[in-house]
Amino acid sequence: MSKPHLVSAERVKYPPRNPKDIYEFFDSTGMKQLGKVRLVPAGMGGWYLADFMIYKKYRGNGYANEMMDCVLKLARKKKRKSIFLWVAATNTTAIKVYEKYGFSRIVDDKVCMYILLLGPK
């Protein structure tokens, strides 16, 4: 039996004074919430990826790749110029995903900063 694929991301709306977008990701049945992403507008047309989370019981099934595909597609659609994030240096699983998608480490410490410069695709 194959795993259900992520097919939808729904934006959770917040009041305008709270400038962040949270997207919840669901499987193909629409019944299981697999994780969420929180994107915060940053200077110079970028986004701060404040949260990128797959819920524990759904980890290890490739959903992080599908979620990142959605994030990058959305960023390009909204003409974002970059995405940056902070991640613990010990979180090697997340770091592998970010590096796979071309994020570059620009601060190397116990907590690392990564950035991805976006161009047209």
Query: pLDDT value at position 16?
Result: 45
Query: pLDDT value at position 2?
Result: 46
What is the domain count for the chain?
1
Report field, pTM of the whole predicted structure over 0.85: no
In a domain, 31, yes or no: yes
CATH code of 113's domain: 3.40.630.30
> Which residue matches tokens 């410069």?
117
Query: pLDDT value at position 1?
Result: 38
> Which residue matches tokens 């305008």?
16
For 37, other C-beta atoms within 10 Å of its C-beta total 22
In a domain, 71, yes or no: yes
Please answer whether residues 118 and 75 qualify as being in contact, where contact means their C-beta atoms are separated by less than 8 angstroms: yes
Q: Could you give the CA distance from residue 41 to residue 80 in angstroms, rounded to a whole number? A: 9
Residue 65 CA, chain-centre distance (Å), reads: 9
In a domain, 1, yes or no: no
Q: What is the dihedral of CA 14, 16, 18, 20, to 10 degrees?
A: 70
In a domain, 57, yes or no: yes
For 3, other C-beta atoms within 10 Å of its C-beta total 11
In a domain, 88, yes or no: yes
**Which structural domain range is residue 21 located in?**
6-117
Q: Extract the residue ranges of the chain whose pLDDT is less than 50.
A: 1-2, 13-17
